Each structure stands twice: as C-alpha cells, then as structure tokens.
Amino acid sequence: MDLNFLVWWAVFGASLTSFLADLRAHWINRDFLEFAGSYELEIGSKLSLAYFSAMYSLVLLSLGMAFWRDLPFSSELSELLLGFVLMLSGFLGRQWAIRSIGRLWSLKCLYIPDMPLENKGLYRFLSHPEYLCRGIESLGVLIVLGTKESLWPLWVGVVALSLVLAMTERRFVRTYAGRMEDSESAEMI
C-alpha cells in the first residue's frame, strides 16, 4: 500500500474527527446556552462563520490538492513527523480549551450577561487558546500534505481572521458588559 495513500487518509480522518468533535460540542451545549440567556453577537457570528468556513476550506483544499493533483507529500520523515505532531498537539490543545470552558463553548459567538470569564485550563495562560491551537493544527495539515508553499497565503489569511475574531469578541464583551451594567443602574433609579 502506498504511503501517500495512508497519509492522506490519516489527515482526512483526523480532520473529520476534529470537525465532528466541534459539531458534537456545539449541539450538546446549545440548549444550555439558550437557557442561560445567551445573546448571539451578530458581527462576531458572521466573523465566526467566515473563520470556520476558511479553516475547513483550507484543510479540504489541501486534501483535494494532494489527492487530485498528486502532489508529493512531505518528502522527509522528519517533516512528516513534525506535521503530525503539530496536527495532534493543535487538536489536543483545542479539545483541552473546549473542555476548559465546558458548557459555554459554541461554534457561534455568544455572550451571557453576568457570566464571569473562564480562567481554567489553557485560558489561565491565553485569552483565545482555541484559535491558536486551530492555527497550529492547520499548519500541521499543510506540512504533512506538502501544500504549505501553495496554500501559505490562505493559512496566513485564516490566522489573521482568527486575530480579528478574537479582538472582536473581546471588544464586544467589554462593550456589552458595560451596557448591561448601565441599563441595570438605570432600572434601579
């Protein structure tokens, strides 16, 4: 059996597992988030949709290029191993971040009034560890599949989009929390 064939299916399987894990966590947490009175942040949700679409498009495009154009996979074993280590560490880090915030995680950009920010797991060290881990995971995919040279600009765009999304989330939470405090003060008067 061809090594490229096995590598392609390993990356496809890992990417599919990652996507299904995201969907599962989103659907499990959806009812709780509705019950908790979460607000969907419109601009954040649009950016979030663009981000997730770009991230998964990057992986699918990489898989497609490697399969149909018969690109050579990482030629050196060290490069192949580096790619798999990045993929695995990105995936495990992301799962740790998702589990750290538990029922509060969603594919959507949500805000729950009066909910303190989480400070557990990777969130003790970073504000947005999930985005960082997704970037590491997708870089691993590009390295393993040998598409890093051709898809490098798209990866940089996805990373830039994740930074914009993180800043938008932070700005909105601060702004929205301030408005909620002002409206509560006005109701008390």
The per-residue pLDDT string of the chain (189 residues; one tens digit each, 9 = 90 and over) reads: 567 777 778 888 888 888 888 888 888 888 888 888 887 766 666 777 788 888 888 888 888 877 776 655 656 778 888 888 998 999 899 889 888 888 888 877 777 777 777 778 888 888 888 888 888 988 888 888 777 777 788 888 888 888 888 888 778 767 766 554 444 433 433
Residue 118 lies in a domain: yes
Residue with tokens 């989103």: 26
- Per residue in 21-65, pLDDT (tens digit) is 888 888 888 888 888 888 776 666 677 778 888 888 888 888 887
User: Could you tell me the CATH number of the domain that includes residue 28?
Assistant: 1.20.120
Q: Which residue range is the domain that position 122 belongs to?
A: 3-182
What pLDDT score was predicted for residue 178?
58
Residue 188 lies in a domain: no
Query: What pLDDT, on a 0 to 100 scale, did the predictor assign at position 185?
Result: 39
Q: Is residue 163 part of a domain?
A: yes
Residue 45 lies in a domain: yes
Q: Give domain status of residue 62, yes or no.
A: yes
**Cα(78)–Cα(80) distance, integer angstroms:** 5
User: In 3D, which of 161, 164, 138 has the Cα closest to residue 61?
Assistant: 138
Tell me the one-letter amino acid at 17: T
Tokens 């408005």 identify what position?
179
User: What confidence score (pLDDT) does residue 22 get?
Assistant: 84
Residue 9 included in any domain: yes
pLDDT at residue 47, rounded to an integer: 77
**What's the pTM?**
0.77
Count structural domains, the chain: 1
What is the pLDDT at residue 179? 55
Q: What's residue 181's pLDDT?
A: 47
* DSSP for 79-98, written as a single string: HHHHHHHHHHHHHHHHHHHH
For the chain, what is the largest distance between any 2 Cα atoms, rounded to a whole number of angstroms? Answer: 75
Residue 189 lies in a domain: no
